[in-house]
Amino acid sequence: MSEYIFFEDALRDRFLSFVAGHCVQAEIRPDRIAGFVVTLSENLPDDLEDILEAEYGRLMDEQQELVEAEDGEDRTLLGVDITLPDGRPCTVRLPPDFARRLCNHFSGEEIQAMVATIAREILDPSTGPLCRER
């Protein structure tokens, strides 16, 4: 399942139109922090996922330009929703510099997996050497 977050209704609606134009079904739900999450069906062909990711990237560039134009200040923020090992939901907020760099190099799923792994390790640290023979 692919999830995309939007803070502007107009950008969300443009993405939904783009997705519908590729005959992909989407679900929308409000985000706990702000905006909306658009969820797309699973098992999309890789080439179609690449097309959708590219369009989302263009829209997020527009989102950043809108925010920067509002006050001339860079406020890029990334909130990553994870579930802690005890089952509690949690949003990890990442500073703007990290958020921008992560989003430029990783998909939303990869960022979420990385943050969840770090959170699990903090809550239940592994002991012993970092490298071990198997």
Q: Positive or negative CA dihedral for 53, 58, 63, 67?
A: positive
Residue 62 belongs to a domain with what CATH number? 3.30.70.260
- Residues 52, 116 within the same domain: no
pLDDT tier at 62, thresholds 50, 70, 90: confident
Count the neighbouring beta carbons within 10 Å of the beta carbon of residue 71.
8
Q: Please give the pLDDT value at position 5.
A: 85
Percent of the chain predicted with pLDDT > 90: 16
93: which residues sit within 8 A by CB, 6+ positions away?
77, 78, 79
The pLDDT tens digits for 82-120 are 888 888 888 888 877 777 788 778 877 788 888 888 888
Q: Which phi and psi angles does 23 have, rounded to 5°?
A: 60, 40
Q: Would you call 89 helix, strand, or coil by DSSP?
A: strand
Q: How would you class 51 by CB atoms within 10 Å of its CB: exposed for 0-12, middle for 13-18, buried for 19 or more?
A: middle
pLDDT of residue 77: 67
- Note down the domain range covering 108: 76-127
Q: Considering its fold, how many domains does the chain have in total? A: 2
d(CA 3, CA 37): 6
Segment 30-48 shows an average pLDDT of: 83
Given a cut of 60, whether residue 40 has pLDDT beyond it is yes
Residue after which a domain boundary falls, among 37, 58, 74: 74
- Is the predicted pLDDT of residue 8 greater than 60, yes or no? yes
Place of tokens 């960022």: 111
**Shared domain check, 35 and 63:** yes
The burial class, CB within 10 Å (0-12 / 13-18 / 19+), for 12 is buried
Would residue 133 count as lying in a domain? no
Exposure on the CB side of residue 3, measured as CA atoms within 13 A: 15
Looking at the predicted structure, is the pLDDT value of residue 18 above 60? yes
pLDDT of residue 16 exceeding 90: yes
Return the pLDDT at 13.
92
User: Between 68 and 2, whose confidence is greater?
Assistant: 2
How does the average pLDDT of the chain come out, rounded? 81
